[in-house]
Amino acid sequence: MDMIKITINGVECVGEKGSTILDLARAGGVEIPTLCHHESVKRYGACGVCLVEGEGLPKLMRACSTVAADGWVLSTETPRVKAARQVAFELLMSDHEGDCKGPCSLNCPAGTDCQGYVKAIAMGDDREAVKIIKDKLPLPASIGRVCPHPCESACRRTKVEEPISIAYLKYFAADRVLKNNPYVPTPDAASGKSVAIIGGGPAGLTAAYYLALKGHAVTIYDAMPKMGGMLRYGIPEYRLPKAVLDAEIAEIASLGVVMKNNVKVGVDVSFSELRASHDATLIAIGAWSNMGLRCKGEELSGVMGGIELLRKVALGEDAGLGKNVAIVGGGNTAMDACRTAVRLGAENVYVIYRRTRDEMPAEDIEIEEAMEEGVTFKFLTNPAEILGEDGKVSAVKLQIMELGEPDASGRRSPVAVEGKFEILPVDNVICAIGQKVNVKGFEEVELNAKGIIAADERYFTTSLDGVFAVGDATNRGASIAIAAIGEANKAAAVIHGYLNGMPLPYRAPFVSERKPKDEFFDRFEKMPRAKMPVRPAEERRNDFCEINLGFSEEAARAEAKRCLECGCHDYKDCRLIKYADRYVVDAKRFAGVKHECFKEQRLEIIERDQGKCILCNLCVRVCREDAGKGILGLVGRGFGTVIKPEFRDSATIAVCRDCGKCVAACPTGALKLLK
Ligand code: SF4
Ligand code: SF4
Ligand code: SF4
């Protein structure tokens, strides 16, 4: 047998004379992208992504259909090859209508695979659900309870009736797994590298979890008596029982993460000492200072910040509230503060908010529940002055407001009604209008114009070598916990690269997205969203026990089954998206009219989503040449070409049963086996 030898990317590849470049590359373990190639059918060479360049050879060659000549020296990733391949993928993506991921996942700041874990819950596999969640988020039972769930705002089920209760489903699965069969992955072997994490809140704990899984020795230093940060000291017990948080923190500690509390950087240990004793340092200190009201009387006794109140209560300290308490602000911290004041025995609790309920940033459910618990909302009012007697708050003078033109946030801006005020007698004014960062102890790190730690948005690096920063303490300031968690997960990957001498920036994966028309949703039967059962207001307003009772198993499974499964079933295996991402394609470069077709072709056991089909013809060839059936064919010409069953009679469909070879061969998610 005559043998030949070629060199691809410096690797010697040997095979029989007459072999294609692709055959030899595969024999030598060199990867060349392909879409329309399949071992069981004849060479086709249509998709044009398997190009290679040869020394002394003028043209790029298709590896799948070019017979190799002995001695060739080839490269698969030259700039010319990459550029040509990128164009090939851009052309393919220009007529590709599909959602790689559901909008829920794309709108989650941590990128959790909502569709994946909702499906696992629907199938009754809670442990698998937690496994999926923990790929991005190590605190599912805690976050499932408190997250304002931006995923649900993007959920397409809203177009049918209401969004899937994604966050509470996470809470359901995480609680069951935590209680019955906790899931903690096994860490990699010890790397010999150490990381100091300053701050044990959601960001610090998340980074610790993912870095520990990579085998690094992680120590968290936190100023408070216990770990958890704002999840412990900024979220009341009735929303997040601390036993749940403790259990999830214990799971992180079980990975070998060392947790040191009551350590204030700049007091108990200097920042430079920490830097010097670890290979990398991550600052995740959060935003723990209150924004002031900037009105007269702010210095009076009885005025405090919303998070200061919540912290005191979490620490078991006397918050010193009187009978009449005013909370200023319209966000979730204001809701936490007013509902906490109710539970501490205040008789009259007011929320002072300068716009109307429609503009309130707090979650609707929080507002409703606060109202049920007896909180009075004074909309269109703003503190003009805090009045006092003997150095203590006695009342708040409220400026009456009205709504003017929309401001930069798109909400109508509050405008003072001249000369119109109201005096509200109160004992306390709690200011919950925002939080800022306290950078004391971190003076060496460069700040941005807002006085917040400046961190690179892709590398998470600061102005100091080996020092990274994430979360509320950086760039844009305070946000929701899941945003800090998302950053921490990405930063952990960058730090891991840094510790291995290869710091790669975070890059959002390329995904294909589509926008179904409203008619698409008509086909789905309306099913109401599951309601979280809660304790009655009269009972719950008297204690700090958890108010949610949790979904029953029946309710959770039914709720999860409402999911429309918007993302592609093939996302993890799809070669089109794998290469489109690798070659950083611009899907809009050749943008034009796209085929508009949603899952319109259904055989007995196979569903075809024509929008995702790239007309590689592989299914047709496999069906004919490998399966020996020839059921499928290309129909039409040019842009109008589609794959169709040639015959629609039942005899043909019967032939198709139990085959599925076309589905296995399809390089995209265009084909799906229905059972
Ligand atoms: S076929 Fe591939 S590229 Fe298309 S939506 Fe599915 S995963 Fe994304
Ligand atoms: S219907 Fe399911 S997959 Fe679609 S956005 Fe909602 S949760 Fe995600
Ligand atoms: S359905 Fe057939 S032609 Fe379309 S991408 Fe899949 S294998 Fe290729």
Closest-CA residue, ligand 3 atom 6, reads: 666
Closest-CA residue, ligand 1 atom 4, reads: 98
Q: Give the ligand 3 atom nearest the CA of 620.
A: 2
For a mutational test of ligand 3's pocket, the pick from 89, 616, 624, 661, i.e. the residue with the most ligand atoms closer than 8 A to its C-beta, is: 616
- Residue 329 near residue 293 (C-beta atoms within 8 A): no
CA of 104 to the centre of ligand 2 (A): 6
Q: Burial letters for 84-94: b for 16+ Cβ neighbours within 10 Å, e otherwise?
A: ebbbbbbbbbb
**Could you tell me how far CA 98 lies from the centroid of its own chain?**
20
CA of 114 to the centre of ligand 2 (A): 7
Q: What is the pLDDT of residue 646?
A: 61
Q: What is the pLDDT of residue 606?
A: 83
Band the pLDDT of 597: cuts 50, 70, 90.
Answer: low
d(CA 30, CA 51): 13
CA of 564 to the centre of ligand 3 (A): 23
How buried is residue 636: exposed, middle or buried, by Cβ count under 10 Å (0-12/13-18/19+)?
Answer: exposed
d(CA 474, CA 455): 6
CA of 167 to the centre of ligand 2 (A): 12
Does 570 score more than 90 pLDDT?
yes
d(CA 613, CA 47): 12
CA of 35 to the centre of ligand 3 (A): 9
Taking only the tens place, the pLDDT of each residue in 174-222 is: 999 999 999 999 999 999 999 999 999 999 999 999 999 999 999 999 9
d(CA 37, CA 667): 9
CA of 642 to the centre of ligand 3 (A): 9
Give the DSSP H/E element, type plus range, for residue 46. none
Closest-CA residue, ligand 3 atom 4, reads: 613
Of 135 and 39, which is predicted with more confidence? 135
Length of the chain counted residue by residue: 675
Greatest Cα pair distance in the chain? 104
State the residue for tokens 């429309």.
564
Closest-CA residue, ligand 3 atom 5, reads: 613
CA of 667 to the centre of ligand 1 (A): 9
Closest-CA residue, ligand 2 atom 6, reads: 155
d(CA 543, CA 394): 27
Judge if the beta carbon of residue 606 lies within 6 A of ligand 3: no
d(CA 326, CA 309): 12
| Angle subtended at Cα 569 by Cα 563 and Cα 570, rounded to the nearest 5 degrees | 160
Does 598 score more than 60 pLDDT?
no
Residues with Cβ within 8 Å of residue 334, at least 6 apart in sequence: 306, 327, 328, 351, 353, 362, 432, 433
Closest-CA residue, ligand 3 atom 2, reads: 619
d(CA 133, CA 139): 9
For a mutational test of ligand 2's pocket, the pick from 99, 113, 118, 524, i.e. the residue with the most ligand atoms closer than 8 A to its C-beta, is: 118
Closest-lying ligand to the alpha carbon of 95? 1
Band the pLDDT of 604: cuts 50, 70, 90.
Answer: low
Lowest mean pLDDT among 28-42, 106-120, 223-237: 28-42
Taking only the tens place, the pLDDT of each residue in 241-275 is: 999 999 999 999 999 999 999 999 999 999 999 99
Does 225 score more than 70 pLDDT?
yes
Q: What is the pLDDT of residue 587?
A: 76
Q: What is the pLDDT of residue 603?
A: 66
Q: What is the pLDDT of residue 461?
A: 96
Q: Give the ligand 3 atom nearest the CA of 666.
A: 7
State the residue for tokens 């009076």.
300
Helices (H), 352-478: 364-372
CA of 670 to the centre of ligand 1 (A): 8
Q: Give the ligand 1 atom nearest the CA of 609.
A: 1
Q: What is the pLDDT of residue 281?
A: 97
Q: What is the pLDDT of residue 599?
A: 58
Q: What is the pLDDT of residue 649?
A: 61
For 54, phi then psi, to 5°, come to -115, 145
Give the DSSP H/E element, type plus range, for residue 14. strand 11-16
User: Which of 32, 34, 22, 35 is CA-nearest to residue 615?
Assistant: 35
Taking only the tens place, the pLDDT of each residue in 54-85 is: 999 999 999 999 999 999 999 999 999 999 99
Closest-lying ligand to the alpha carbon of 635? 3
Q: What's the average model confidence in pLDDT over 628-656?
A: 76
Judge if the beta carbon of residue 114 lies within 6 A of ligand 2: yes
Judge if the beta carbon of residue 496 lies within 6 A of ligand 2: no
| Angle subtended at Cα 453 by Cα 236 and Cα 145, rounded to the nearest 5 degrees | 25
CA of 666 to the centre of ligand 3 (A): 5
